[in-house]
Structure 1
Amino acid sequence: MIKNLIFDFGKVLVDYDFERFLGLFIADPDNRKKFLLTICNQEMVNRCDKGDETFEQIVEEQKRLYPQWREELQAFHDRQTEAVTGEVKGMYSLLSKLKKEGYRLYGLTNWSNAVYDVMKCYSRIFGLLDGQVISSEEHVIKPAPAIYQRLFDRYRLAPCECLFTDDKPENVKGGMAMGMRGIVFKDARQYEHDLRAATGKV
C-alpha cells in the first residue's frame, strides 16, 4: 500500500527556465551557448549538487579560471532564484489534496545549497512537505542508491510504501531499483492519473 509520495523539486514542484535566466545577464545567444558549454556545464552542475564544495566556492573557482566571465558568473550566483519561474502548474492544489487524503509528502532533490533561497521564495508549496533530502547536504546525487537509502533511513520509510516521481527517467529508475514505485513526471494531470492507477484510488 502506497503511503508516502516522494517528489523531485525542479520541473516537478517548481519550474525553471535556464535559457531565459541566462538571457537576463548574457544578451548574446552565442555567448549564452559558450557559457553553458564551457562554464555552467553538467560537470559544474553535478559538483554544485553534490555539495563537497559550496556553490559559492565553485563559482569563485570558475571566476579565477575564466576571468573574462567574472561578471556573468557573479550574476549567475547572485540571481539564482530568478531561474525559477514559479510553482509547477496544478501541483500546489494537488499536493494539498493528497495531504488531506492522508499521504505523507517528501522531497528528494539534486540541488546545490542555493536551494534554500528557492524554498524561502516558494514556501507555500515546500511547506507542504513532511521532510526532504537534498543532495548537497548528503554529498551524493541521484541516481546513486545511497541517496534513496538516506531518505528511507531518515524518515523510517518502507520502500514498498513509497512512490517516487522525477522528471528524469534515470532517477525514477534508480528509485525503483531501491524498491519504490515510480512515475516519470510530465505535468500535474498526468501525475495524478498515474498515481490513481498505481494505487487503485480515485
Structure 2
Amino acid sequence: MSIQAVIFDIGNVLIEWQPERFYDSVIGAARRKKMFAEVDLHGMNERVDLGENFRDTVMAQADATPQWHDEIVMWHDRWIEMAAPAMDHSVRLLRALRRANVPVFALSNFGIQTFAIGEREYPFLEEFDRRYISGHMGITKPSADIYKQVEDDCGLPPQSLLFADDRADNIAAADARGWQTHLFETPQKWADRLVAEGLLSPENAQ
C-alpha cells in the first residue's frame, strides 16, 4: 500500500536526547555512572512521559535520594541542555515532506511540561499536521494502544503509515500493527528511505 503519512519520533530523530552526555559534561562520567546505577532516572522520566507533572516528579525523586539531590534537580532546571541540539537534516526532511504535501505526524514519548519547553526552543515542533504526545495521551510507546489511538484518530490504514523511531522496541510494536517502519540511525539513512519510497527527490532530501 502506498504511504499516506509519515510519522516521526522526536527524541534522537529530530532532537538529540542524551542525558548521560549532559551529566558526563557536568559531573564527570564516573559520578554519572554511579548516580544512574543508584537512581532510576529513566524510570522517573517515563513517569513524566506518562503525564505526571515534570517539576513535582523530579523534585520528589531528588528528595527521596538526598545524596544526589542537586544533580537530580538539574534534570528539571537544565532539561533543555539534555534535549539538544536539533538534528538539522531531520528537520529539513520534515519540512520537505510538508512542502511535498505529504502529511507528517509526530508520535513521541514526551511529558506535558517538557514538550511545552521543547516547543519554545524548537518551533518546528509546531509544524506537524498531527501530534501524538504520550503525556497528553496517558500512554507511552511501545504499548500497542498508543499506536491504535494514532490509527483511530488519523483514520488511515496502518499499512499506509511510515514510522521512524530510534528504538527497536517501538519499531517492533509498530510492525506488529502492520505499519511500515524505519529504525532510525542517521538522518541520511532516513533521507535515503524517503527517496526510495518516492516521497522526496534526492535534491529535496538534502
Q: Distance between the aligned counterparts of 1:82 and 1:41, measured in 2?
A: 16
SS at match of 1:154: helix
Runs of 4+ residues over 4 Å off in structure 1: 199-202
Aligned-residue sequence identity (percent) comes to: 28
SS at match of 1:92: helix
SS at match of 1:10: coil
Q: Trace 1:33-182 onto structure 2 (pairs within 5 A).
A: 33-51=33-51, 53-113=52-112, 114-123=114-123, 125-182=124-181
Task: Give the alignment's TM-score, normalised by structure 1.
Answer: 0.89
CA shift in 2, pair 1:200/1:20, >3 Å: closer
Unaligned runs of 5+ in 2: 202-206
Alignment match, 1:21: 22
The count of residues paired between Structure 1 and Structure 2 equals: 199
Q: Distance between the aligned counterparts of 1:121 and 1:201, measured in 2?
A: 27
Shift of 1:169: 1.4
SS at match of 1:86: coil
Name the Cα RMSD after superposition. 1.9
SS at match of 2:16: strand
SS at match of 2:88: coil
Kept after mapping to 1: 8 A contact 2:55/2:76: yes
Shift of 1:54: 1.8
Q: Distance between the aligned counterparts of 1:28 and 1:196, measured in 2?
A: 41
Kept after mapping to 2: 8 A contact 1:172/1:184: yes
Q: Distance between the aligned counterparts of 1:199 and 1:180, measured in 2?
A: 17
Shift of 1:30: 2.2
CA shift in 2, pair 1:17/1:43, >3 Å: closer
Q: Distance between the aligned counterparts of 2:74 and 2:97, measured in 1?
A: 38
Shift of 1:200: 7.7
Q: Distance between the aligned counterparts of 2:92 and 2:200, measured in 1?
A: 18
Kept after mapping to 1: 8 A contact 2:7/2:106: yes
Kept after mapping to 2: 8 A contact 1:109/1:135: yes
Unaligned runs of 5+ in 1: none
